[in-house]
Amino acid sequence: MKRVSICLSPYIPKKALKKDESGFTLMEIITVIAIMSIVIGMIFSFLVFNVNGLYYGSGQTKEQANLRMAALRITEEIRNSTEVKLSNVSLLPEMEYEIYLQNNSLVLDDGSSTITLSGDEISSVNFELKEHNSRYLLIITLETQGNTLDTEVLLNNISSIDVDMSGERLGFNLPPLSP
């Protein structure tokens, strides 16, 4: 096989053969890459910080919503109760219903079945009875890992009760249903 050499120099103008100085040096390119790396790193760390804050905030919102929902459900159940007792042991033999913490969830127990009143994020619950203007208040304190919710429920149908009681279990009786 024959080799053929092609010489293009007679066809290229002499001005084009001069050294072209309109490019970038290696040092300039390395400097630009370093500066861009720093800027991109700052943007990325800003985004990671904001995403972590978003996850933390949504977790806090979920915990707070769970606490508020549990407090609302307790309020709906006991507002019109006729008798209320607080204890740290089961009250079911003498009370119709009981609310207590089981496996980090609040449950309503009627002796034959249980209904879950909250999600599984509640770490502690405390009930306290106080007298207020010759009426009775039930103060409920619910806690999760990062939040605490205190709420007060005015007990409408209670005429007398042992006040200044507290406990982790709330037993109550409801008025009989009218026909």
Record the pTM. 0.69
Predicted confidence (pLDDT) per residue in 39-98, tens digit: 999 999 999 999 999 999 998 888 888 889 989 988 988 888 888 888 888 887 788 899
Q: Is residue 61 part of a domain?
A: yes
Predicted confidence (pLDDT) per residue in 99-113, tens digit: 999 999 999 998 889
Of the candidates 178, 172, 100, the residue with the CA atom closest to the CA atom of residue 136: 172
Q: Is residue 84 part of a domain?
A: yes
Q: Is residue 32 part of a domain?
A: no
- % the chain with pLDDT above 90: 35
Q: Is residue 68 part of a domain?
A: yes
Q: Is residue 12 part of a domain?
A: no
Q: Are 161 and 86 in contact (CB under 8 A)?
A: no
Q: Is residue 9 part of a domain?
A: no
Q: Which stretch of DSSP H or E encloses residue 29?
A: helix 26-78
pLDDT at 165: 82
Domain that holds residue 95: 57-173
Domains in the chain, number: 1
Residue 102 has φ and ψ, to the nearest 5°, of -140, 120
The mean pLDDT value for 164-176 works out to 85
